């Protein structure tokens, strides 16, 4: 059985919960989750990698068991996660990004490119062609940030939508454990969390404005790059994964017959791809 430790650390006044496994001194791997989940999404992946890597998986501010951010912006998430890596001694590390974790980590890479040894992107987008129709309600809010359009986004916080995010595009939905999406709903029900998520939906437009900067980072620094993509994702489409090769021709892009939450059904295959990639 993998020895996983469950810890918390104060980062600029915010309590950050995280999971840690592996041997200190081994190659470091930071795992960053997305919406609406937490470090719990890595529960199956961590034991498959802990014999070879030193892993930490934080709950970002406003997610899971971590405290609320001071401001609900991706810049603030990047601030907190940069501070977190410094507090836990991750000076140079590979990073696994998913969904909201991608623009958070790409901001971190822009600030400190020397700290990033490799990137693994699981449905973590950086190209406009990767944005699917699932973003249409959020785009409407960007174009008209009215209270009506903000309230319309509350449907993205419901149990029905959360289950759909987990099961859409999965050939065998019965392989998706209900534990993941029910835990997400528990955390989404925390006081103040709905406004955090609605604010982040609004702020995501600035991630798109930063796509050219992210792409310039890829071209300039050429980090070793692996994309492991659920090919039926309604939010981040396969063209977004393929686009990484435009800026990093040596990038390894792999698709899996599943949806947005690829680790729910393909943790074994993704872990094997990571082990081959990182060595």
Spatial distance between the Cα atoms of 133 and 144, rounded to a whole number of angstroms: 18
Catalytic member of 33, 54, 168, 260 = 260
Closest CA to 263 of 44, 20, 8, 80: 44
- The count of C-alpha atoms lying within 13 angstroms of the C-alpha of 27, restricted to the half-sphere facing its C-beta, is 15
Spatial distance between the Cα atoms of 63 and 12, rounded to a whole number of angstroms: 17
Using only the alpha carbons of the chain, give its radius of gyration: 17
Spatial distance between the Cα atoms of 125 and 123, rounded to a whole number of angstroms: 6
Spatial distance between the Cα atoms of 63 and 211, rounded to a whole number of angstroms: 24
Q: For this structure, is 260 an active site residue?
A: yes
Q: Where are the alpha helices (DSSP H) in 6-69?
A: 46-49
Closest CA to 98 of 42, 56, 167, 156: 42
Q: Where are the alpha helices (DSSP H) in 17-73?
A: 46-49
Structure-token pair, residue 121? 């992107």
Closest CA to 208 of 137, 145, 142, 147: 142
Q: Identify the DSSP state of 176.
A: S
Spatial distance between the Cα atoms of 157 and 198, rounded to a whole number of angstroms: 9
Q: Identify the DSSP state of 112.
A: -
Query: Which residues carry out catalysis?
Result: 260
């Amino acid at each position: 059985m993998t020895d996983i430790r469950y810890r918390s650390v104060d980062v600029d006044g915010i309590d950050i919960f995280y999971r840690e496994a592996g041997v200190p001194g081994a190659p470091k791997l930071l795992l960053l989750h997305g919406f609406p989940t937490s470090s719990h999404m890595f529960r199956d992946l961590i034991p498959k990698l802990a014999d070879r890597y030193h892993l930490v998986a934080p709950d970002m501010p406003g997610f899971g068991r971590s405290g609320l951010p001071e401001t609900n912006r991706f810049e603030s998430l990047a601030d907190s996660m940069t501070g977190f890596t410094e507090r836990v001694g991750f000076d140079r590390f590979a990073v696994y990004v998913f969904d909201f974790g991608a623009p958070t980590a790409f901001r971190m890479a822009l600030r400190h490119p020397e700290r990033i040894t490799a990137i693994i992107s699981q449905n973590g987008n950086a190209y406009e062609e990767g944005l699917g129709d699932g973003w249409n309600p959020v785009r409407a809010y960007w174009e008209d940030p009215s209270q009506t359009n903000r309230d319309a986004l509350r449907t993205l916080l419901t149990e029905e939508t959360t289950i759909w995010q987990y099961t859409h595009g999965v050939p065998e939905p019965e392989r998706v454990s209900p534990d993941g999406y029910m835990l997400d709903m528990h955390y989404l029900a925390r006081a103040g969390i709905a406004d955090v998520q609605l604010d982040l939906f609004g702020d995501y437009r600035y991630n798109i404005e930063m796509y050219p900067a992210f792409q310039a980072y890829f071209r300039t620094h050429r980090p070793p790059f692996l994309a492991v993509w659920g090919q039926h994702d309604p939010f981040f489409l396969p063209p977004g994964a393929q686009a990484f090769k435009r800026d990093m021709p040596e990038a390894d892009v792999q698709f899996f017959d599943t949806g947005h939450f690829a680790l729910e059904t393909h943790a074994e295959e993704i872990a094997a791809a990571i082990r081959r990639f990182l060595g």
